[in-house]
Chain A
């Protein structure tokens, strides 16, 4: 399977989009809206000509600003699944899928389990079905690259989980270099083998999901993975854990060597809650319980501070937490990572 290589620079309203990407397998790009994700997809498909750069699939050069190559979208072997899917409303499902297909529409309809919808129009089918049609339509063209723009954003939470798992399998099966753009880190992890964080036009980090969690490049990446972020001043202590004085004045320890202004990264699942006094050698912060939410057998406890702790349901039940309670949040120095701020 050919590799997609993208290098581009393009001015956006407030910053420049600048990135280089060598792509095989499924990569999810996450980042806040306006970070340049949709611009990147437009540049790859040819709907937008970047100021500078090069886009190539293996030996096929689609765009090269120096060689003045700029193939129109219909000459690039790329499948794009639009946000909200952009199905043709005046065509049936079959006509939509057949639009870019050289043939074999029946087989594709069967593969995506939409054969029974073949004569329906997009307005008459559900959101999940529309997504399958959009994916089938993009793949029917036999592209060399697959791009998906927020494929799960328009689905309700109830159907999303099942469709996400199905999408993940489908993308792995195609074996195509694939970029999935999403603003949801959880979706990214569920779908892709590698996750890139795009902020203000720059790729801050690209790696397997666990790498982003265990070794985030900066505070933004850490925040995107759902980690707690605290600010403080680090003081290195030879032969002992680094001491960090938080903005609240409280002191905690970390195994990460650091000195000066730092972001403290603690994952919710590394935070436990106790009503008793803290044992020695563990970081302890006295906090008020602000809210409790349950999801999938886990309880997320929002503590004023703010700090989020994620507990097993049984553990939360034993503590009998109620908003307004004062408790001690505990986390190990080894689970307390420091990122030096620039």
Chain B
């Protein structure tokens, strides 16, 4: 095959692939007029779902950062027997079908699940409640953050940590003054990925928390309900999602670029290595 023909074939294949990916997104934004879509955003179905999504995502994100960061740091800095097993367990929910995650959550934390009795005794009723949405989102999105955070902590030059120790800083001060700032870019990237994934969470949520408007109905669940009754509302939420997710991805690229040019740590390569 001549070089020109090969170039044309590569170009054609790339154009088809790109068009295939862009076409549905473009259709979402152009099916109805922007004004019509904007009007739908004031529909109570949409506003209630937006509030539920923001509340539950904020709580889930807080839980992910608060518990996931120490876990990632330990897994990145300690070498122990069975570490590979633990890392695999952490990563499992990323590839698990959401329906499996939903069932797992029900039999673990549901009213008749393993910990259901304990939760009830503490006055926490998990099933079909906002807490259930938070649990589902945390379970599905958390591992994305932890995995990226492990890579970010592992990319820190061990000499910098050692330097901190020989300069009189204990493990805690070393974590907050050296490890955390140097991994910040990677942690932000992981947080953004988890946030995007959490906002879009559908399967586990609908199984474990149900789709109660104003209580457990998040934006993706609202799309599913509106799909039957009000296509324009479904389109409006979907368009909103495209814009939000694009914003998250763009900010992720900008922060990693900014971070790598600001300091010489290897956080940026860590982000790409983990993807």
Known contacts A82-B159, A82-B163, A86-B162: A74-B169 contact under CB 8 Å: yes
Is B181 on the interface with A (CB-CB < 8 A)? yes
- Cα separation A137 to B88 with both chains bound (whole Å): 41
- Cα separation A179 to B164 with both chains bound (whole Å): 20
- A80's partner among B163, B169, B177, B263 (CB-CB below 8 A) is B163
Known contacts A86-B159, A88-B160: A121-B165 contact under CB 8 Å: no
Q: Summarize A's interface: helix, strand, loop or mixed.
A: loop
B265: nearest residue on chain A (CB-CB)? A89
Is A131 on the interface with B (CB-CB < 8 A)? no
Q: What chain B residues lie within 8 Å of A87 (beta carbons)?
A: 163
- Cα separation A319 to B166 with both chains bound (whole Å): 56
Is A342 on the interface with B (CB-CB < 8 A)? no
Q: What chain B residues lie within 8 Å of A46 (beta carbons)?
A: 165-166
**Restricting to A86-116, which residues have a CB under 8 Å from any CB of B?**
86-90, 99-100
Is A72 on the interface with B (CB-CB < 8 A)? yes
- Cα separation A123 to B264 with both chains bound (whole Å): 7
The answer to whether B166 touches A80, judged by C-beta atoms less than 8 angstroms apart, is: yes
Chain B nearest CB: distance from A200 CB in Å? Answer: 25
Bitwise, B164-175 to A at CB < 8 A (1) or not (0) is: 111111100000
Q: What chain A residues lie within 8 Å of B265 (beta carbons)?
A: 89-90
Is A196 on the interface with B (CB-CB < 8 A)? no
Which of A90, A99, A122 has most chain B Cβ within 10 Å? A90
The answer to whether B169 touches A99, judged by C-beta atoms less than 8 angstroms apart, is: yes
Is A12 on the interface with B (CB-CB < 8 A)? no
B263: nearest residue on chain A (CB-CB)? A89
Chain A nearest CB: distance from B155 CB in Å? Answer: 12
Known contacts A47-B162, A82-B162: A90-B263 contact under CB 8 Å: yes
Q: What chain B residues lie within 8 Å of A177 (beta carbons)?
A: none
Chain A nearest CB: distance from B182 CB in Å? Answer: 6
- Cα separation A123 to B163 with both chains bound (whole Å): 17
The answer to whether B170 touches A99, judged by C-beta atoms less than 8 angstroms apart, is: no
Is A45 on the interface with B (CB-CB < 8 A)? yes
Q: What chain A residues lie within 8 Å of B164 (beta carbons)?
A: 88, 99
Is B178 on the interface with A (CB-CB < 8 A)? yes
The answer to whether B177 touches A86, judged by C-beta atoms less than 8 angstroms apart, is: no
A77: nearest residue on chain B (CB-CB)? B168
Chain B nearest CB: distance from A91 CB in Å? Answer: 8
- Cα separation A72 to B263 with both chains bound (whole Å): 29
Chain B nearest CB: distance from A319 CB in Å? Answer: 50
- A79's partner among B162, B166, B169, B182 (CB-CB below 8 A) is B166
Known contacts A86-B157, A123-B264: A74-B163 contact under CB 8 Å: no
- Cα separation A123 to B259 with both chains bound (whole Å): 13
Chain B nearest CB: distance from A134 CB in Å? Answer: 9
Chain A nearest CB: distance from B252 CB in Å? Answer: 20
Chain A nearest CB: distance from B139 CB in Å? Answer: 33
Bitwise, A231-270 to B at CB < 8 A (1) or not (0) is: 0000000000000000000000000000000000000000
Q: What chain A residues lie within 8 Å of B178 (beta carbons)?
A: 88
- Cα separation A123 to B182 with both chains bound (whole Å): 14
Q: What chain B residues lie within 8 Å of A78 (beta carbons)?
A: 166
The answer to whether B165 touches A89, judged by C-beta atoms less than 8 angstroms apart, is: no
The answer to whether A84 touches B159, judged by C-beta atoms less than 8 angstroms apart, is: yes
- Cα separation A89 to B177 with both chains bound (whole Å): 12
- Cα separation A137 to B166 with both chains bound (whole Å): 11
A123: nearest residue on chain B (CB-CB)? B264
Q: What chain A residues lie within 8 Å of B163 (beta carbons)?
A: 80, 82, 86-88
- B165's partner among A73, A79, A90, A122 (CB-CB below 8 A) is A73
B261: nearest residue on chain A (CB-CB)? A123
- Cα separation A87 to B265 with both chains bound (whole Å): 11
- Cα separation A76 to B181 with both chains bound (whole Å): 25
Chain A nearest CB: distance from B66 CB in Å? Answer: 23
B262: nearest residue on chain A (CB-CB)? A90
- Cα separation A82 to B160 with both chains bound (whole Å): 9
The answer to whether A89 touches B182, judged by C-beta atoms less than 8 angstroms apart, is: yes
Bitwise, A44-87 to B at CB < 8 A (1) or not (0) is: 01110000000000000000000000001110101110101011
- Cα separation A45 to B166 with both chains bound (whole Å): 7
The answer to whether B169 touches A123, judged by C-beta atoms less than 8 angstroms apart, is: no
- Cα separation A73 to B168 with both chains bound (whole Å): 7
- Cα separation A204 to B168 with both chains bound (whole Å): 33
**Restricting to B142-193, which residues have a CB under 8 Å from any CB of A?**
157, 159-160, 162-170, 177-178, 181-182
Is A298 on the interface with B (CB-CB < 8 A)? no
Chain B nearest CB: distance from A120 CB in Å? Answer: 13
Known contacts A121-B263, A123-B263, A123-B264: A90-B166 contact under CB 8 Å: no
Q: Pull 24 A–B residue pairs with CB atoms less than 8 Å apart, ordered by A.
A: A45-B165, A45-B166, A47-B166, A74-B168, A74-B169, A74-B170, A76-B166, A78-B166, A80-B162, A80-B163, A80-B166, A82-B162, A82-B163, A84-B159, A86-B160, A88-B164, A89-B160, A89-B264, A89-B265, A99-B167, A121-B263, A123-B264, A138-B166, A141-B168
Measured CB to CB, the residues of B under 8 A from A are 157, 159-160, 162-170, 177-178, 181-182, 262-265
Measured CB to CB, the residues of A under 8 A from B are 45-47, 72-74, 76, 78-80, 82, 84, 86-90, 99-100, 121-123, 137-138, 141
